[in-house]
Amino acid sequence: MKKSARLLSLVLALALVVTALAGCAAESEEEPAAEEPAEAATVDTFTYAQGADPRGLDPALVDDGESSKVIVNIYEGLLKYNSESTEVEPSLAESWTISDDGLAYTFKLREGVKFHDGTDFNAEAVKFNIDRQLPPKVTEEMGYAGFVFGSVKDVVVDDEYTVTINLTAPNTAFLANLAMSMAAPIVSPAALEAGNNSVMETPVGTGPYKFVEWNKGENIVLVRNDDYWGEPAKTKNVIFRFIADNSARVLALNNGEVDMIDGIDATVVEQITSAGDELFEAEGMNINYMAYNTTTPLFKDQAARVAFSQAIDREELVTSLYQGYSDVADTILPTFVPGFDATVKQVEYDPEAAKAGLAAAGITKVHMITYTNPRPYNAATGVALATAIQGYLQKVGVECTIDTFDWTTYKEKVRAGDYDICFYGWIGDNGDPDNFMNLLSDPDPTMNVARWQDPTYQQMVKDALALPNGDERNAAYGEMEKYVAERAIWLPISHAKTLAAFRPQVSGFVYHVTGNVFLKDVVVAAE
């Protein structure tokens, strides 16, 4: 009996083992181990083509879009804008408080951040950057200093990572100003000291990309900052190429030489899309305008400016030049910016009145200057716009001579002031109406290209800046628009749609309403 029991036990044990093994085999067949999905192949370089070189890469010393698009990928400010709006968010500052009287802004700074040169970001670095743009250190080359820091009294370092900025008067736009791409970004103090207060060609920030080299007239090369405090950039290298000619830039895109381009106009849209490339289109926060030099004998009087403006059919001009990709500018402010007033009226087209008024003013010849490259607010170029204006004035008996310059030279010519009329434009930096209307009160002639100095208007700007956001403040800016329109300081031309084009392999870029292109998350899929 004992022998039989032992044999039965052995058989049962073997049966259980076989059953278990069979079960494992069945389980293995039914539920194979999941394989990790293969990551899509990407390339390690993204190339962006724009119409001109930057003027420079020191955010305190430049004021142009070509510079800004590169700057925002190298530097950061205390605050930044939401990717889909101009709502401010933390950046190098983690949080902030505002005193009850609106005169003291205290920022708690992000710890552990380093500049690209290895030096520490801290409260002293913030103070250094702002102090260089305040009297007595501010220089005439710092065109944005007044915009961003004009209401700053002083900067106090509370501790290593806390800083207080004190104002001379309440400034509703101040937080929005601190997220701007000009003046506000924080530069390495060590780099500024080494560069004699300038890093125009040797930028050092805290951003997701580091500067490698600048080949003038060709390109700027950036490389990923692998020590970045946040999520590192997804693409290792970024190259900004400079291709002045619109058609050449489109050809480079369609041939796959570059991944994305800007400065395009209606004439090339079909060429881009028919080649299989993509069009980016959005409502633009900008103004394209003609400015009278109010300090010249020809246009110091309002009547002469009004008569000249009456000669120009803006509706026909905008339709002809921009073919549906720009709208006639009825006011300086875009329609979606607070303070826009639809009741504002510009000088109306009236060629007979223009002829009489210009004759009465003795105006038979006018000197214009303009720019040759496309601009975000005027992809047709300043030459096309000036030539169109020239044609209208010929019809009323006025000869217009036009001098044309590349953008960098043009900025210097504007500063020199040798013109009766110039052409300019502006992309809103922060979504606040002050950012547009302040242009006409700024003492800097590269900002206030009409060189108009009106104490009443300057006081209107100050008063509106101190008002809290809301109906009263919006109405104040509407009154300012009417004041300027009546005096015909500018002839607003158009608000351009934001246009860019990119290869279908490209994703992740942020083409912001401020005209800047953020590339930290851009990815280029391998073909």
- Cβ(169)–Cβ(182) below 8 Å: no
pLDDT over 80 at 25, yes or no: no
Nearest to residue 522, comparing CAs of 186, 237, 137?
237
The 3-state DSSP class for residue 503 equals coil
- Cβ(74)–Cβ(205) below 8 Å: yes
Find the angle CA(161)-CA(166)-CA(172) to the nearest 5 degrees.
110
Percentage of residues in the chain having pLDDT higher than 70 = 93
pLDDT band for position 379 (cuts 50, 70, 90): confident
DSSP string, 281-342: EE---EEEEEEE-TTSTTTSSHHHHHHHHHT--HHHHHHHHHTTSEEE-SSSS-TTSTT--T
- 178 is written with which tokens? 């601190």
Nearest to residue 152, comparing CAs of 186, 487, 72, 138?
138
Q: How far apart are CA 144 and CA 203, in angstroms?
A: 18
The 3-state DSSP class for residue 433 equals coil
For CA atoms 121, 127, 133, 139, the dihedral sign is: negative
Q: How far apart are CA 290 and CA 489, in angstroms?
A: 9
The 3-state DSSP class for residue 163 equals strand
Find the helix or strand (DSSP H, E) in which 77 lies: none
The 3-state DSSP class for residue 347 equals coil
Q: How far apart are CA 518 and CA 73, in angstroms?
A: 6
Q: How far apart are CA 14 and CA 3, in angstroms?
A: 17
User: Residue 35: its pLDDT value, please?
Assistant: 56
Q: At a CB cut-off of 8 Å and minimum separation 6, what does 405 contact?
A: 369, 370, 371, 372, 413
pLDDT band for position 39 (cuts 50, 70, 90): low
pLDDT over 50 at 10, yes or no: no
Amino acid at 309: S
pLDDT over 60 at 33, yes or no: no
Please, where in the chain does CATH 3.90.76.10 lie? Answer: 75-206
Please, where in the chain does CATH 3.40.190.10 lie? Answer: 41-74+211-282+502-527
Class level of CATH domain 75-206: alpha beta
- Tens digit of each residue's pLDDT (9 = 90 or more) over 417-445: 999 999 999 999 999 999 999 999 988 89
Percentage of residues in the chain having pLDDT higher than 90 = 86
Burial (Cβ within 10 Å: 0-12, 13-18, ≥19) of residue 159:
exposed
- Tens digit of each residue's pLDDT (9 = 90 or more) over 453-505: 999 999 999 999 999 999 999 999 999 999 999 999 999 999 999 999 999 99
Burial code (b: 16+ CB inside 10 Å, e: under 16) for 432-455 equals bbbbbbbbbbbebbbbbbbbbebe
User: Residue 19: its pLDDT value, please?
Assistant: 41
Q: How far apart are CA 181 and CA 79, in angstroms?
A: 10
What's the predicted TM-score (pTM) here? 0.83
Q: At a CB cut-off of 8 Å and minimum separation 6, what does 315 contact?
A: 328, 349
User: Residue 34: its pLDDT value, please?
Assistant: 53
- Tens digit of each residue's pLDDT (9 = 90 or more) over 51-101: 989 999 999 999 888 999 999 999 999 999 999 999 999 999 999 999 999
User: Residue 464: its pLDDT value, please?
Assistant: 95
Output the CATH code of domain 286-496. 3.10.105.10
User: Residue 191: its pLDDT value, please?
Assistant: 98
Burial (Cβ within 10 Å: 0-12, 13-18, ≥19) of residue 193:
exposed
User: Residue 444: its pLDDT value, please?
Assistant: 86
DSSP string, 79-137: EEE-TTSS-EEESSEEEEEE-TTS-EEEEEEPSS-B-TTSPBP-HHHHHHHHHTTSTTT
Structural fold of domain 41-74+211-282+502-527: D-Maltodextrin-Binding Protein; domain 2 (3.40.190)
Q: How far apart are CA 478 and CA 71, in angstroms?
A: 33
Please, where in the chain does CATH 3.10.105.10 lie? Answer: 286-496
Name which of 151-155, 162-166, 175-179, 267-271 the model is least confident about.
267-271
**Is beta strand 399-405 parallel, antiparallel or unpaired with respect to 45-50?**
unpaired
